[in-house]
């Protein structure tokens, strides 16, 4: 059995969940763990002097529980409780491979997770587009006036800058303004390359790109780890 752990992080409303769900339908034995499932209840989230609930911070999450769930999945994917579907596009030589996609807004700034990633992706958006998308979403609790500019966007920039300043951390930055088809095409192809490397290291056969009604596959580029 071979296991691949993929991080799909980045900006709020960048398309992380949608991309993860589409990848799950195409990749062999693929499952998703969402960071949003580990938010603390509102009563336990810190409030700053402006009255903003500080949700965009590690302290707002049960990160220990999230790490435990990921480790349990790695130890036994098939019995972890999150493997629920047969992959739609799996080839015969992919059946002994398990892939976990962990999606969330704050994945790579938490040290206990850093050793787990086989691949890190980070979706980005410009300020105006991110704010526009955020305004169309309904949150519970709802965003208070000034919350995006006063908390959400500054925290995104803070954590993104931390990643960019860490030269040892390899992150593939994805332009969230690109179409879902383009993003899916690139990430799927890139993950399949990682699977091939994994199999080559263990003397296995090369995996083939399998597609059943999915998008066209084209390499969008990795120079500088930005696409």
Angle between helices 180-201 and 16-26 (to 10 degrees): 50
Q: Residue 130: which of 105, 161, 102, 112 has the closest Cα?
A: 105
Does residue 36 have an active-site annotation? yes
User: 50 with 145: CB under 8 angstroms?
Assistant: no
CA dihedral of 96, 101, 102, 106, whole degrees rounded to 10? 140
C-alpha of 115 from chain center: 15
The residue among 202, 16, 7, 34 whose CA lies nearest residue 117 is 7
Rounded to 5 degrees, φ, ψ at 221 are 115, 145
Catalytic annotation, pick one of 36, 48, 59, 149: 36
* Catalytic annotation, residues: 36
């Amino acid at each position: 059995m071979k296991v691949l752990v993929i991080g799909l992080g980045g900006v709020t409303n960048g398309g992380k969940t949608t991309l993860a769900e589409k990848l799950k339908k195409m990749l062999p034995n693929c499952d998703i763990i969402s960071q949003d499932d580990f938010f603390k209840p509102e009563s336990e989230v810190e409030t700053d002097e402006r009255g903003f609930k500080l949700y965009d911070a590690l302290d707002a999450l049960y990160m220990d529980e999230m790490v435990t769930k990921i480790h349990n999945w790695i130890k036994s994917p098939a019995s972890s409780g999150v493997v629920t579907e047969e992959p739609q596009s799996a080839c015969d030589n992919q059946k002994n491979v398990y892939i976990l996609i962990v999606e969330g807004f704050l994945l790579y700034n938490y040290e206990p997770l850093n050793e787990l990633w086989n691949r890190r992706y980070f979706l980005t958006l410009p300020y105006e587009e991110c704010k526009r998308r955020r305004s169309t979403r309904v949150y519970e609790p709802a965003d208070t006036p000034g919350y995006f500019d006063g908390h959400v966007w500054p925290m995104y920039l803070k954590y993104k800058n931390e990643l960019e300043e860490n030269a040892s951390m390899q992150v593939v930055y994805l332009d969230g303004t690109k179409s879902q088809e383009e993003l899916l095409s690139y990430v799927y192809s890139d993950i399949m390359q990682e699977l091939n490397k994994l199999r080559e290291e263990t003397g296995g056969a090369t995996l083939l790109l399998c597609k059943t009604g999915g998008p066209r596959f084209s390499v969008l580029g990795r120079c500088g780890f930005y696409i």
